[in-house]
Amino acid sequence: MSLNDASFQNDFTPIYSLGHLTLLGCSIPELIYIASRTGYDAVSPRLITTGTGGEFSYSPVGKEIIQATSNALDVTGIKVNDIELASISNNHDVSSYEPIIELGAKLGAKNLISSAWTTEKDDRNLIIDKFSFICEISQTYELSVALEFPTFSRLVNLKDAVDIVEAANQVNGGILIDTLYMHMSRVDSTELEGLPPEWFKFIQVSDVAPGIPDYHEGMIDIARSARLYPGEGCIDFIDIIERLPPVDYCIELPNKNRVGELGYEEHARRCLQSTKKTFKNITNKITTS
């Protein structure tokens, strides 16, 4: 299935979600209100904090933040597309994620993002087991689990992620395509062909300047603070989109300089404007070809 299909043209309208990493310093309620004021359909909040520098400091399961989040969703009509981040590591007990997954479901989320950060080369079975367990917990709450492959993580490319999802064989297991990591990992978009369409519910969108750092710190710096608006960089979005089923779009676009210059709200607005413009042009090109 691709954008050329009649089902996409006639039945599918993608939603646009504001990824928390785009405005990582915001609380979840603030993220929701900014998303509403700037034209988004949904948000993708980080309910499981990772210790990444710049994260807003809060307890996502605290009564006050839950109430404030619920109020913001009710007032604005904004939806929750996905929650993050269920990290897989050597020592972390993934069963501890269940209260957060339950909360995400109560807030209306349909997807959970997971990624692997283990440190041993022979830990494939560990990753499979923990990913499977995350999927089993999530299935109880009717969430799909999208396995991500950040280039500087344990799973460095699409093939690595496919291997885990296939081996886990979970009905709600799938893969998250982040356009930045497709580029950084030098993934050939033809690798998407033939993969189960049900694996792909949404993708994360950003652009990037040409060139790929050859060391992790450089990749991390770009991923967390220097992504570009779609259309400003070198990513061939049409090459990716035409090989995927119809998907929703989470805009994950942290840019430290743009936030400093424009502020949270205007940065979020320009993220959405540039993404809609770029993807409208892509849709027009594919459907008229």
- The answer to whether residue 205 sits within a structural domain is yes
* 270 closest CA partner among 40, 28, 27, 83: 40
- The answer to whether residue 238 sits within a structural domain is yes
For residue 103, what are its two tokens? 């909360």
Distance linking the first and last C-alpha atoms of the chain: 16
- The answer to whether residue 213 sits within a structural domain is yes
What pLDDT does residue 121 have? 74
**Cα–Cα distance, 230 to 247 (Å, whole number):** 17
Question: What's 190's DSSP letter?
Answer: G
Question: Total structural domains in the chain?
Answer: 1
- The answer to whether residue 1 sits within a structural domain is no
Please list, in sequence order, all residues whose beta carbon lies within 8 angstroms of the beta carbon of residue 68, skipping any fewer than 6 positions away: 27, 28, 29
Look at 93-102, 197-206, 276-285 and tell me which has the smallest mean pLDDT: 276-285
Angle at 76 between CA 82 and CA 66, to 5 degrees: 60
* Residue corresponding to tokens 């009717």: 142
- The answer to whether residue 119 sits within a structural domain is yes
φ/ψ region of 189 (left if φ > 0, alpha if ψ in -120 to 50, else beta) reads: alpha
Rounded to 10°, the helix 124-140/158-168 angle is 60
pLDDT-based confidence at 217, cuts 50/70/90? very high
Count the Cβ atoms, other than its own, within 10 Å of residue 93. 9
**Cα–Cα distance, 134 to 114 (Å, whole number):** 8
pLDDT > 90: percent of the chain: 82
- Structural contact between residues 21 and 254, judged by C-beta atoms closer than 8 angstroms: yes
**Cα–Cα distance, 27 to 65 (Å, whole number):** 9
Q: Which domain holds residue 88?
A: 6-287
What pLDDT does residue 2 have? 43
What is the mean predicted confidence (pLDDT) over 218-230?
Answer: 96
What is the mean predicted confidence (pLDDT) over 238-251?
Answer: 95
**Cα–Cα distance, 93 to 5 (Å, whole number):** 42
CATH of the domain at 240: 3.20.20.150
How confident is the model over 149-198, as pLDDT tens digits? 999 999 999 999 999 999 999 999 999 999 999 999 999 999 999 999 99
Q: Give the amino acid at 218.
A: G
Q: What is the 3-state secondary structure (H, E, C) of 124-164?
A: HHHHHHHHHHHHHHHHHCCCEEEECCCCCCCCCCHHHHHHH
Question: What's 209's DSSP letter?
Answer: -
- The answer to whether residue 251 sits within a structural domain is yes
- The answer to whether residue 14 sits within a structural domain is yes
- The answer to whether residue 232 sits within a structural domain is yes
pTM over 0.75, yes/no: yes
For residue 3, what are its two tokens? 């954008």
